[in-house]
Structure 1
Amino acid sequence: MKRILLLITACIFSQLSFSQSAPELCQGAYFTEPQGKEFLAKHVPTSKKEWEARAEQIRNRILEGGELKKLPARPASKPIVHSRREMNGYTVENVAFETVEGYYLTGNIYRPLNQKGPFAAILCTHGHIENSDARYLEYVQLRCASLARMGAVVFAYDMLGYSDAQQSQHKILKAFKLQVLNSIRALDFLLAQPDIDKNRVGVTGESGGGTQTFMLTALDPRIKVSVPVVMVSAHFFGGCVCESGMPVHKKGDFQTNNVEIAALAAPRPMLIVSDGADWTKNNPNVEYPHLQKIYALYGKENLVENVHLPTEKHDYGPSKRIAAYTFLAKHLKLDLSKATKADGSIDESFAKVLDRKELAVFNAEHPRPVNAAVGDDAVSALLNW
């Protein structure tokens, strides 16, 4: 966890000079903890009508600040899907497809094996870690395999500059814009798979992947259930350019924060998972009560939950995964028993952790398409739609 927080801190400092010249960016610990709490106290809506007007303002700020009011046409190229492997209760395939012409989103799709659909669908994002092979790490594979075995078609995909996504570095200027587009196109891809129940669609991820989780949920009503892990904070706005490098939180006199953005999920089911060692340490007393007030406007306060782990750190470890599995199983009608023991504890022993070479999309046999833009400038040029 210490290495992850150091990496995020380095990311914040690398953006400092840019944010000083762009005062409407809200990066890192933009508020102090008391300021974050005070902000929420001043923005408790008194009615559903008042909240929905505020929600529309917040959504528009994200779309305008992220230059997402108008999306580019979907590329006509077909997805690249190869290397299907049958595992214990699930299958895995390697996937790439264009999200904007010239940029290929890369990932792995996990499907239930020997089960009858229609199936739930779940997007799995990952956070900022020191190891650029994030998608290949054990905890990501275990999460995806477990959810697939429980009865969901799961797509795990890369952030810029991680794993197969090496067309540019991670911290290009408009990383936020491209990563939101990638999430929307990932959802397009997932929902286009055969035998999907479009009323059972979820997304979950940790840290920067938690940001992707609540941003996508805020913008796309096709997401029905969300589980942002170790990220929802009243005072911390995301430490990387891909989370807060565009003016999505502030413009002139208008200000919002990530708790209000997460609240745009209401009244859809949402679980926030928090710990005692990062910016989510106040969730039980600050962020979660505010979310309950928003959900109460719909008479749905039972659909927002918080699992707080005060002795744990910033990760998506076993206890956080079992919290997510339990919530997703409940609201997406999955078979929780396939990832738990009789006593309710986590059981991922069935899953085989594959080598990065097995999960990589691009290799000698499957090279990156020749039309792929390569380099920070070339990828950034794709974003001028």
Structure 2
Amino acid sequence: MRPLPLPGIAPILFVVLLVLSTCSRANDAPADTTDGDQLVPEYFEQQTRLLAERSLADIEDLEDWTSKRAMYRQQLLDMLGLNPMPERGELHTTVTGEVRKDDVVVEKLHFQSMPGLYVTANLYRPAKVDEPLPAVLYVCGHGRVVEDGISYGNKVYYQHHGAWFARNGYVCLVIDTIQLGEFEGTHHGTYREKMWWWNNRGYTPAGVEAWNSTRAIDVLQARVDVDPDRIGVTGRSGGGAYSWWVAAIDERIQAAVPVAGITSLHNHVVDGCVSGHCDCMYMVNRYRWDFPMVAALVAPRPLLISNSDRDSIFPLEGVVDVHAKVRKIYELYGAEEDLGLQITSGPHSDTQELRIHAFRWMNRHLKKDESLVDTVATKLFDTKQLKVFDELPEDERVTTIHETFVPKATLEKTPSTPEELARLSEHRKEQLREMTFAGWPDDVSIEQTLEVVEQLKRADAEVTFAQYTSQDPYILPLIVVHPAKAESDTSPKEPATAGSPVDVVVLDQASWERAASGLAVVAPQRYPNVQPSQDVWNEIIESRRPTVLIAPRGVGPTEWSRDERERTHIRRRFMLLGQTVAGMQIYDVVSAMEALSGRRDELALAGPWTLSGKSDSAFIALHASIWSDSITNLKLLDLPTSNRDSPDLLNVSRVLDLPELLGIATGDVEVSIGGSTQAEWRKKAESNPLLSSVGWPAE
């Protein structure tokens, strides 16, 4: 490992970081910038088109598909957080009561899909059963039923579906979701709860709903009144989505009718339907799928895609697109007649027209019955009659399952030699590239993209305004400042020499705006709407070291909306593309250093490079450092102390946590940590040998 940094180096750069970070926002963003609100939709359009064109494009014949189907199913399980699959333990199925009306009996029951993960359910069956019957798993959408502060579960809202199936010769198990059930968990971690660490963990409530659904099939197959080989699934809205998940991953489902539960990636990302959906609708899209890939995994089993024509969150054109693409797979099987598309008139609603076709589809494929449906679905029971628990059990994990459902990675053995650390570093980089940064471009050459736009020479400094193409359409700024030597130097007013140490600073929006106020002193024409600050400019050049300012996407010229809701759904769009904002900002910083490396001599940046950042930008700099050979020093101010408190990166906690990443970084660069989190990092270092080489500058 490298020795500790020289004690005099760290404080200089930490001063620079504080200069660029400790201020309020400028009144206006620089006016000479590209409109970030235009760039981000262009980027989403381009990336979505790439994924859509790739979806099922390599499947030409049935052998192509069957040879890859198991791999695709494993990929979906992984993206649902079901890799490895949880243990199929004892279900502890318990019937807490029974109600009857006319010829329909409802068993009020619960089971545990894993210890403490209770699933409340109502099981509908005919009053008289002479032989094993076909069964339907009904998975509920978001149908909140709360009276006097008591949640009765969305199973109560959808009870008419269970009643119809029971009256027509089925056993129907209607299960609650982890949100809006008798237990009130959450589906809205990233949607409104700011639980961005769900992405870090690789967690989605879609995975829990899929797991609960497949365990519900276990419940049905264990019953003597159920034919285990004739089980179907249906549900609408959220239940439509869960119908897709369980039908795709569990081949015991013999017929599926997802209602208003799927549409194209284009609708979600480009058209903005993501803003109308909570997290249960999405897998953590590590493998960068479009949604026809999910649909294809149901083939060749009977599948009816059902939707209405004015559904604003499952638009018609996207539904038709999914059907058209999955039809290709059914045709390869010669099973075109087992794929259906039903479009009825109406909004996003549980209409009778949607129900009737679902009933007929199940009759046709589970009972071989083509007769007309002559009964309507009606609610038979009062709300309170269908409640499972009088009191909720204290050992429940439903409301906290997001904390444990996807296990975090652990380091089995701490490296004891530089060679072991190097091997660990390479292994972790491979894992990160596959699980966290799979959305990075893999065929883009950036070495020739750096363009010098303008160079200004002053008595106190030379300033180079450059730009580089990180990833189309993002052309990002690089600003190089060469302060003049101090008056005491032998050659005053000359630029610093090419061999001088170089400070490379990763900016966030606040530090960009502060830096712009200083740069407006030397280039007012580039920043006409920014109030120049001579004090800030003096602080920028005070170090007398060459300084490079990097503004990744979403910062400065490419900043997008400041509306909190819009920013939330921009972040969620990135996730749907198998990326995150922070992940692509890390790529931008790596790209910037690669672009600069080819012009080191020309830009007088031949000296050792120190990469730095503050707070979230420190996190970006840390991750970028392990992907670049140009960095010799890493200075991190207010570095977050865990993945959970950091910007989100897909699945990163399934690979490593920040202390391990920091330890890996010390194998190649000299690392110093300062600021408000230094004390906590020092405490971590006391018990973590990986952090023994970290430096601690005086505060």
Please tell me the TM-score bracket, short chain as reference.
Answer: 0.7 to 0.9
- Determine whether 1:354 maps to 2:372: no
Q: Kindly provide the amino acid, as one letter, of the partner of residue 191 in structure 1.
A: Q
5 Å-filtered alignment, 1:219-368, equals: 219-235=249-265, 236=267, 239-244=277-282, 246-247=283-284, 249-251=285-287, 255-278=288-311, 279-282=314-317, 285-309=320-344, 311-333=345-367, 340-341=373-374, 346-348=375-377, 351-363=378-390, 367-368=391-392
Q: How far apart are residue 383 of structure 1 and its match? A: 4.7
5 Å-filtered alignment, 1:96-107, equals: 96-107=110-121
Cα distance change on mapping 1:233 and 1:212 into 2, 3 Å = same
**For residues 143 and 304 of structure 2, what CA distance do their matches in structure 1 show?**
23
Per-residue CA distance 1:54-88 (angstroms, 9 max, x = gap): 43343222112222123333343621212212222
**For residues 149 and 315 of structure 1, what CA distance do their matches in structure 2 show?**
23
Per-residue CA distance 1:111-131 (angstroms, 9 max, x = gap): 122242210011001113465
Q: How far apart are residue 284 of structure 1 and its match? A: 7.2
Q: How far apart are residue 263 of structure 1 and its match? A: 1.6
CA contact (8 A) 1:267 1:300 kept: yes
1:148 pairs with 135, 144, 166, which one? 166
Q: How far apart are residue 327 of structure 1 and its match? A: 0.6
Per-residue CA distance 1:197-245 (angstroms, 9 max, x = gap): 122110001111111101111111111100000122123456221222x
CA contact (8 A) 1:273 1:308 kept: yes
2:156: which partner in 1?
Answer: 136
Per-residue CA distance 1:28-71 (angstroms, 9 max, x = gap): xx769x94995378727210111234433432221122221233
Cα distance change on mapping 1:66 and 1:232 into 2, 3 Å = closer
Q: How far apart are residue 193 of structure 1 and its match? A: 1.1
5 Å-filtered alignment, 1:18-167, equals: 35=49, 39=53, 43=57, 45-76=59-90, 78-129=92-143, 133-137=153-157, 140-166=158-184
1:369 pairs with 367, 386, 393, which one? 393
SS at match of 1:250: coil
CA contact (8 A) 2:126 2:169 kept: yes
1:15: which partner in 2?
Answer: none
Q: Kindly provide the amino acid, as one letter, of the partner of residue 359 in structure 1.
A: L
TM-score of the superposition, structure 2-length normalised? Answer: 0.45
CA contact (8 A) 2:101 2:380 kept: no
Q: How far apart are residue 334 of structure 1 and its match? A: 6.9
CA contact (8 A) 1:104 1:372 kept: yes
5 Å-filtered alignment, 1:172-211, equals: 172=189, 173=198, 174=203, 175-211=205-241
Identify which range, 143-152 or 70-79, moves more after superposition.
Answer: 70-79
Q: How far apart are residue 336 of structure 1 and its match? A: 7.4
Q: Kindly provide the amino acid, as one letter, of the partner of residue 110 in structure 1.
A: Y
1:381 pairs with 379, 392, 404, which one? 404
2:188: which partner in 1?
Answer: 171
Q: List alignment gaps of at least 5 residues for structure 1.
A: 1-29
SS at match of 1:85: strand
**For residues 326 and 99 of structure 2, what CA distance do their matches in structure 1 show?**
41
Q: How far apart are residue 182 of structure 1 and its match? A: 0.8
**For residues 295 and 351 of structure 2, what CA distance do their matches in structure 1 show?**
22
Q: List alignment gaps of at least 5 residues for structure 2.
A: 1-43, 147-152, 190-197, 269-273, 409-699
**For residues 276 and 326 of structure 1, what CA distance do their matches in structure 2 show?**
20
RMSD: 2.8
Q: Kindly provide the amino acid, as one letter, of the partner of residue 250 in structure 1.
A: R
CA contact (8 A) 1:276 1:313 kept: yes
Q: How far apart are residue 185 of structure 1 and its match? A: 0.9
Cα distance change on mapping 1:113 and 1:129 into 2, 3 Å = closer
Cα distance change on mapping 1:51 and 1:42 into 2, 3 Å = closer
Cα distance change on mapping 1:54 and 1:300 into 2, 3 Å = same
Q: Kindly provide the amino acid, as one letter, of the partner of residue 189 in structure 1.
A: V
Q: Kindly provide the amino acid, as one letter, of the partner of residue 174 in structure 2.
A: A
CA contact (8 A) 2:295 2:322 kept: no
Identify which range, 277-286 or 293-302, moves more after superposition.
Answer: 277-286
CA contact (8 A) 2:235 2:242 kept: yes
SS at match of 1:331: helix
**For residues 361 and 111 of structure 1, what CA distance do their matches in structure 2 show?**
17
SS at match of 1:282: helix
The structure that has the greater radius of gyration is 2
Using the aligned pairs only, state the percent identity. Answer: 27
Per-residue CA distance 1:298-333 (angstroms, 9 max, x = gap): 111110011111x31112221100010011000010
CA contact (8 A) 1:124 1:155 kept: yes
SS at match of 1:287: helix
CA contact (8 A) 1:232 1:280 kept: no
1:212 pairs with 223, 242, 248, which one? 242
Q: How far apart are residue 373 of structure 1 and its match? A: 3.2
Cα distance change on mapping 1:374 and 1:317 into 2, 3 Å = closer
Q: How far apart are residue 262 of structure 1 and its match? A: 1.3
SS at match of 1:50: helix
1:22: which partner in 2?
Answer: none
Q: Kindly provide the amino acid, as one letter, of the partner of residue 76 in structure 1.
A: E
SS at match of 2:337: helix
User: Relative contact order, CA 8 A, sep 6+: which one is greater?
Assistant: 1
Q: How far apart are residue 292 of structure 1 and its match? A: 1.9
**For residues 267 and 303 of structure 1, what CA distance do their matches in structure 2 show?**
7
